[in-house]
Amino acid sequence: MNKEKLSKMNFSTRAVHAGYKPNEYGALATPIYQTSTFIFDSAEQGGRRFALEEEGYIYTRLGNPTSSQV
């Protein structure tokens, strides 16, 4: 949704859509990611994420793309 179209909407509608970023697959609604773990490019990357030296998802109870949207 572009900013011009959004600015013409009622406050309640804008509040619901605030911060919305279309996902890479073009879904209109925020997808629900039903996974427990995430893949890493390497063991080193996994180590950095678990050591909190690099941002990214590691285990869904700690965060996932769905909870980040909420």
The tokens describing 31, both together, are: 């997808």
Q: What is the pLDDT of residue 6?
A: 67
Neighbours of 53 (CB within 10 A): 9
Neighbours of 35 (CB within 10 A): 12
Q: What is the pLDDT of residue 27?
A: 76
Cα–Cα dist 27/24, whole Å: 8
Cα–Cα dist 62/43, whole Å: 19
User: For residue 2, what pLDDT band results from cuts at 50, 70 and 90?
Assistant: low
pLDDT digits (tens, 9 = 90+) for 6-44: 678 888 887 777 767 777 777 777 778 788 889 999 999
The domain limits of the chain are: 25-70
Cα–Cα dist 35/27, whole Å: 18
User: For residue 70, what pLDDT band results from cuts at 50, 70 and 90?
Assistant: low
The tokens describing 57, both together, are: 């998802």
- Note the pTM of the prediction, 2 decimals: 0.53
